[in-house]
Amino acid sequence: MAFTSIFPAIGLTILFFGLAKLIVKHSAFYQQIVQKADQAQYKTLDGLRGFLALGVFFHHAVVNYQYFQIGTWQVSPSNFYTFAGQGAVAFFFMITGFLFWSKVISGSRFKLKDFYIKRALRVLPAYWFSLAVIVVIVLIISNFSLKVSLPRFLMQIGSWLVCGIYGFSNVSSNVFPDINYSSVGLINASVQWTLTYELQFYLILPFLTWFAKPSRFSGLFLTFLVLCLVSSYKPLPTLMSFLFGMAAAYLIKHLEPKKRFLGWHTSLGIMMLLVAIPIILPPPYIYDLGAIALIFCAFVLIAHGNNLFGLLTAPASKYLGTVSYSVYLLHGIVLFSVLRLVNQIYPIAGMNPIYFWMLVGLCGLMVVSLSGLTYRYVEYPFLRVKLAVNSVAKSGSSHTDRYPVKK
């Protein structure tokens, strides 16, 4: 069996789904979370997040296996697994744009200070927790000895603490430097680059509210679209993912009262579309405007309420969606740690793909379980603080408050 076969990912997804179902069944805390998720306006997006995070996990599992074979960290040779990772990121960015822009065009009052406090409390604690784990791993690798001066070591950590919000970068050595000469990108699979885009979107969102009128937004959207078509600047198509999500807010507002395009035939069409993208288009998908446009079509139909035969609204899916931010932040760390430990005993380079996927299954079970703990004891306490900060919040927090964007 080739290590890029899609069947292990399908089988392990079922396994992880079963574990999530078991956790919900035996946890009063997550039973309550799932019940609250039923009240969300866009409940299908909660379940979607969980599967997107698993897609990124499988993508990086394959990239890790390839790394042990050739010694370099690069995109997977499989279109399916590349799309599972890069397509998931495009979906995540659309979810961000859609949820926050839906609130903007609904006429909700925008309180700048509360918005930034709530976003910081939601995104940063879990990220900083993952960074603390990374620093511990770096120290273990370096035998707890500094290979750089202490001020430089602290500056390197500081660069990661602010998550590159002062400039767009894909793991630039200036924005996300190695820590103590250890390549942090290998430890966490370089997932932090997407948080840079997310945080910068939050920073400019208050200024974008001027474009809330459909005519103004159309001008903004078309301007960026033309720039994408005439420019080779890679971040532009990535930024279009946010704008596509924002555009979806207008479409869903129009479609919701009519409840069009709902039913099993639409769900089947969505699945066929997502399967077709990696077949008909080559990577990289996160920079391909055509791929992003097709993802947008699937996204609109899912946000409209298509639950893919109930898959996206199942309790296990809601659990996976709830903990997906932790899954996103921790999966690379778990893969790095487990694979390096096993490699000391049995070289991954010579490992049969079947055994490797069994190892990936073990890592996935750890990630799904650990993420439940980090959500409960790292993310959730700050959610409670955030809700207390928002003194004018109505009972039952908004969809974006309880289930923020997961990367």
Chain-wide mean pLDDT for the chain? 89
DSSP 376: I
Helix (H) or strand (E) holding 11: helix 7-26
- Single-letter amino acid code for the residue at 232: S
| Residue 369, φ and ψ in degrees, nearest 5 | -75, -50
Structure tokens at 253: 């507002």
* pLDDT tens-place string over residues 111-125: 888 889 899 999 999
Structure tokens at 56: 């990124």
pLDDT-derived band at 164 (thresholds 50, 70, 90) equals low
* Pairwise CA distance, residues 379 & 377, whole Å: 6
Structure tokens at 168: 């767009």
**Residue 169 scores a pLDDT above 50:** no
**Residue 110 scores a pLDDT above 90:** no
DSSP 394: P
**Residue 357 scores a pLDDT above 80:** yes
Distance, first Cα to last Cα, the chain: 30
Query: What pLDDT score does 354 carry?
Result: 95
**Residue 86 scores a pLDDT above 60:** yes
149 Cα distance to chain centroid = 34
* Pairwise CA distance, residues 200 & 205, whole Å: 8
Helix (H) or strand (E) holding 231: none
* Pairwise CA distance, residues 57 & 330, whole Å: 9
Task: Mention every residue, 6+ apart, whose C-beta is less than 8 A from residue 267.
Answer: 306, 307, 308, 309
> What is the Cα gyration radius of the chain?
21
* Pairwise CA distance, residues 240 & 225, whole Å: 7
pLDDT-derived band at 370 (thresholds 50, 70, 90) equals very high
